[in-house]
Amino acid sequence: MQQKVKKGVKMVKQELKEREEVETDINIVKTWIQETKEYLLSPDVEVDTQLQELQSLLGEVTTHRQAVEKMAEQQQNKYLGLYTILPSELSLHLAEVGLALVNVQDQVKETQQIKTLNREFGQKIQGIANELNAILSKLKKKTTDIAQAKLEQKILGEELDSCNIKLLELDASVQDFAEQNAPLAKQLANRIGKLTALHQQTIQQAEHRAAKLSQADSYLEEYNEMLEFILKWIEKANILVHGSITWNSSSQLRDQFKAYQTMLDESGEIHSDLEAMTERIEYLASVYCTEGMSQQVLELGRRTEELQQVIKVRLPNLQDAAKDMKKFEVELRALQAALEQAQATLTSPELGHLSLKEQLSHRQHLLSEMESLKPKVQAVQVCQSALRIPEEVVTSLPMCHSALRLQEEASRLQHTAIQQCNIMQASATPTHQLL
């Protein structure tokens, strides 16, 4: 009897020990279930990392379910062997933990599905954002070929339309997703709102660039027309100012003065043209490579200013030289006319028909008239000295050579007239004495 009691006590202790071990195993699973539920409620885990962990949890929950099922089977078999039923308390614990594992498994799968959808939505959002940023980057690029830029602009417009369609489809999908997970859907909706704002900004940029490009051809054409006019003026002005000035006559000097004045008048529009060209550059700057154009306008302004200054300095010089040359020519013609008259009188064949006394009287009168040549010669000399022409040019002028020749001619004629008078006077004296 005593042995039976001892054996019974031993069996009870063994049963309690095994029951405790089962309870411990069940509690371990319960703890894992509680930790898993808390993890599933955590919002701060990075999506890709969480998906990996959720996949791992699916493996773990399957392992725990199999372990609990095996444990329940072992306990069932154990008590069947003892010709009794599984204790209700233990049966309840095993059933509860088994059900909890099923629920956790469903939650993990659901969370995994939601997180996968969330990641896919995030990837789509990021994909559209990347497309929009790429379009914005292209819209900011400047071109050197307007026609090509217009073709590219059309393609960018089509890409924007495609982004808009994707946005609308994505927004509709997220609204459906809100039924499964409202908090995540709200986060996604906020991101889509920002993406929509970026899309609108990109559309505005595209419209602005399209408007600029539509006017760019006419602005470039206007720029090039003004550029051509200025370059032609610079070319003509260069030829003019670097050419030699012809100082030979007042008419030539007047013609050159007119040429310089015309060139200066033509340059009157250049300043406003340069300003207009700068305005065209400012308009084109957002879509067209204008760095070289800006430098070009500065260089044109510098060259034009230099040439204008040279022309402005030369204009009064040419005008003064033309006036001085005109006076010189007038005095020279007056001297030449007087000399020609004196020469004609001195060599007139009619004098030979006069008496010696009459010829002498005529030549003496001519000689007194020739005294009036001196002021004319002096006037020529004064005008020549007053010429506002470079000294190195004066000596080579044909007019100055003519002046020197006429002065010598006046002196020769006067000398000839004096000789003739002396001869006639000498010839006439004996005759008078004889009478």
Q: What is the pLDDT of residues 168-194, one digit of tens each?
A: 999 999 998 888 888 888 888 999 999
Secondary structure (H, E, C), 371-397: CCHHHHHHHHHHHHHHCCCCHHHHCCC
Name the one residue in this structure whose structure tokens are 């010709």. Answer: 83
* Cβ atoms 61, 104 nearer than 8 A: yes
Q: What is the rounded CA–CA span in Å between residue 192 and residue 200?
A: 12
Residue 265's pLDDT is what? 94
Beta-carbon contacts of residue 358 (< 8 Å; ≥ 6 apart): none
Q: What are the strands, taking DSSP E only, across 279-397?
A: none
Beta-carbon contacts of residue 351 (< 8 Å; ≥ 6 apart): 359, 362
Q: What is the pLDDT of residues 233-253, one digit of tens each?
A: 999 999 999 998 989 899 999
Q: What is the pLDDT of residues 54-69, one digit of tens each?
A: 677 777 778 877 877 8
Name the one residue in this structure whose structure tokens are 């003496």. Answer: 364
Q: What are the strands, taking DSSP E only, across 67-126?
A: none
Q: What is the rounded CA–CA span in Å between residue 252 and residue 237?
A: 18
* Cβ atoms 68, 29 nearer than 8 A: yes
Nearest to 240 by CA among 209, 263, 219, 215: 263
Partnered with residue 288 across adjacent β-strands are 143
Burial class of residue 280 in the structure, from the number of CB atoms within 10 Å of its CB (0-12 exposed, 13-18 middle, 19+ buried): buried
∠ CA 335-338-343 to the nearest 5 degrees? 120
Residue 130's pLDDT is what? 95
* Cβ atoms 25, 65 nearer than 8 A: no
Report pTM.
0.63
Residue stretches of the chain with pLDDT short of 70:
1-12, 14-16, 18, 43-51, 54, 83, 345-372, 417, 420-421, 423-425, 427-435
Residue 49's pLDDT is what? 61
Crossing angle of the two packed helices 182-242 and 270-284, in degrees rounded to 10: 160
* Cβ atoms 366, 345 nearer than 8 A: yes
Name the one residue in this structure whose structure tokens are 């506002």. Answer: 388
Helices (H), 178-245: 182-242
Helices (H), 243-287: 250-266, 270-284
Return phi, psi of residue 143, to 5°: -120, 165
Q: What is the rounded CA–CA span in Å between residue 80 and residue 170?
A: 59
The distance of Cα 218 from the centroid of its chain, to the nearest Å, equals 16
3-state helix, strand, coil in the chain (%, to 5): 90, 0, 10
Residue 350's pLDDT is what? 58
Whole-Å CA distances, 197 to 15, 108, 157, 200, 203: 70, 35, 17, 5, 10
